[in-house]
Amino acid sequence: MKFSSFIVEQKNKAVGIFIGRMSPPTNAHQKIIEDSIRKYSKVYIIIIEGEKSSTLKKNFLSFQQRKELLKITNPKAQPILSKHGYIPDIIEQEKIDTSGGIAIIAGSDRIDGYRKQFEGVDYDVTLDEIKRTDDDVSASKVRQALADNDLLAYERMVDKGLDNPKWFDKLRGYLATKGNPIKEQTYTFAEILNEEVNKHMEHFEDNMFNNGVSGIQKNIDLAKTIRNSLSGGSKTKATITVKWDGAPAVFFGINPENGKFFVSTKAIFNKSPKLAYDYRTADELFGHAPGLVSKLKTCLDYLPALGVDTIYQGDLLFTDDKKIEKINGAPYITFTPNTITYAIPDDDSPLANKVRKAKLGIVVHTEYSGKSLDELSAKFNIDVSSHFNDPDVWLQDAYFRDESGTVNFSKPELDKINYLLDEAERVSKYIKGDIFKKLKSFGLYELFRLFHNQNIKGAKALQSVSQYFTDFITFIEQRYGEQKANLKSDDAKQKRQEQIDNAVHFLNKYKREIIGLFYLYLIFIRLKEIFVAKFSDIKNIDTFLRSPDGFNVTKPEGFCVIDNEGNILKLVDRLEFSRANFTLEKNW
């Protein structure tokens, strides 16, 4: 039997022993382990599994599950389960070298118990006490965040590798199997592919909040790449793709595990993947949604004829729901898969003839490959041109094509872009990485997203950064104030008031830095607006938003930009498209 060991050459010859349940491992555990490695000649990690339990069972994870988690946070770890917590016996059984002394690394609540265990031993024992406060991260708080379906709190408390929706879902599942009450999944990104398969494409302007200082630099670099790509004569190019407003997302192709053709939704990445091979399995897996299952059956009818030998992800544009409608007195072939209505003049053009004859329309943007479904890797720069000629399927790729060559930036546009980039580089020098960590630790980033989305719904653009700062404080006070009003006990109301006071105090304390962030945010929004307006000048299909009064002209949903290093971000006019997506009733 061997415990996980980390050997380092240090002056301190004592052997460190860290004892815990690791149910689950937290970033506090990780910090203790890393600190111990620096201090002691060798560190043993001992996993204790006692018999005690609580409402959220302390031992809700099996030893193998904890071993799997530690392998992610500490790849060299080989933890061993101990059914008892009497450390002198473990030291003797494992023949741990005590010549340089033993250091027991434990929390304040357990240190006295371990002190008593070592009374009378014939080697030196140091008690390395981990001071605890009410604000400390603990496994019990992580378990509570899992039970409360609080993804944001969970991600703040676990270490890198576990801080993503995939492990959040897994651990919630483990917790539920022990009979613990958990809230239903409601977080926004639950249906987005997990980051190990296909990273969620973030808005260009939001990248700085997600990735801090490196996100700011990536935005500047990507903006420069776009500028250079459309300046004429530059060899530096960015791959630009058009975001089609299709729905639902459809996955189709060959299952590498059995060689069979299937269709699916994002449920392909469920713990138990949902793959429809025929009408029967489509009904069994997706029959709860009649509109969805009908579209998947149409995909089963026509997509196999394409002869694909891999897995593609696309957005469905139409099946049997094309229409002939008049817009401004002229007939168009229209389809409205989600928010945007796509309209093609109903004439004798090759495009109209293809769409008119097709039984299904789909735009494909991602290809997946791998030996099994849980090992799929994504590729965005794909070529599906060999599948364009099937008359039953109007298949499109997402690439932006400027066949007229008229999308190069003018000198006034370049001057404005260069000015904004100079400002971004100037301001970014004063932004330190710790401000992002502080924002997230206070939960203020998530509140900012809610605040910004509320402004988008209300068509309120970011104009003055100082006013935006004031409005953000007002938003926090109102949001928490409404929650406070609904609380019953005075203690609960007092705690909620303390949250308000702490958040406002934090914002005012770091007002200069946060206003700087808002200014950068505004710069990136302005750059994005220039890019989207230029890209939108070229389109082969008209786009409209339906309204009670008819059709209103709109831009495409947006664009994605991929640079030479594979960085990919989406450029969307959120005040137009995102607001419509928030507020318009969907027909599908």
Contacts of 570 (CB under 8 A, 6+ apart): 201, 202, 203, 204, 243, 558, 559, 560, 561
Neighbours of 527 (CB within 10 A): 24
Mean of pLDDT values over 500-528: 89
CA dihedral 385, 310, 365, 564 (to 10 degrees): -90
Ordered DSSP codes for 518-533: HHHHHHHHHHHHHHHH
As a whole number of angstroms, the distance between CA 426 and CA 420 comes to 10
Q: Judging by beta carbons within 10 Å of its beta carbon (0-12, 13-18, 19+), is residue 121 exposed, middle or buried? A: middle
As a whole number of angstroms, the distance between CA 162 and CA 29 comes to 13
Highest mean pLDDT among 3-7, 192-196, 342-346: 342-346
Q: What is the DSSP letter of 575?
A: I
* Amino acid at residue number 166: K
Contacts of 374 (CB under 8 A, 6+ apart): none
- Condensed to tens digits (0 to 9), the pLDDT of residues 306-321 reads 999 999 999 999 999 9
Neighbours of 325 (CB within 10 A): 17
- Ranges of beta strands (E only) in 230-357 are 239-243, 249-254, 261-264, 311-318, 323-327, 330-335, 340-345
Contacts of 37 (CB under 8 A, 6+ apart): 6, 8, 43
Helix/strand/coil for 127: strand
Contacts of 101 (CB under 8 A, 6+ apart): 13, 14, 15, 123, 124, 125, 126
As a whole number of angstroms, the distance between CA 362 and CA 246 comes to 8
Q: Judging by beta carbons within 10 Å of its beta carbon (0-12, 13-18, 19+), is residue 564 exposed, middle or buried? A: exposed
Residue 92, pLDDT above cutoff 60:
yes
- CATH 3.40.50.620-classified regions of the chain: 4-130
As a whole number of angstroms, the distance between CA 4 and CA 44 comes to 6
* pLDDT on residue 225: 81
Q: Judging by beta carbons within 10 Å of its beta carbon (0-12, 13-18, 19+), is residue 497 exposed, middle or buried? A: middle
Determine the Cα angle at 305 with ends 299 and 308, to 5°: 90
* pLDDT on residue 164: 75
As a whole number of angstroms, the distance between CA 504 and CA 318 comes to 49
Mean of pLDDT values over 177-202: 42
pTM: 0.48
Long-range contacts, 447-450 (Cβ 8 Å, 24+): 447/475, 447/476, 447/479, 447/503, 448/209, 448/472, 449/206, 449/209, 450/475, 450/479
- Condensed to tens digits (0 to 9), the pLDDT of residues 524-575 reads 989 988 888 877 766 667 666 666 666 665 655 566 766 555 556 777 766 5
* pLDDT on residue 182: 57
Mean of pLDDT values over 270-297: 93
Contacts of 582 (CB under 8 A, 6+ apart): 453, 456, 457
What is the pLDDT confidence band of residue 192, given thresholds at 50, 70 and 90? very low
* pLDDT on residue 29: 84
Tokens representing 478 are 């109102």
As a whole number of angstroms, the distance between CA 390 and CA 307 comes to 10
Query: In CATH terms, is domain 4-130 a member of 3.40.50.620?
Result: yes
Highest mean pLDDT among 4-18, 291-305, 507-521: 291-305
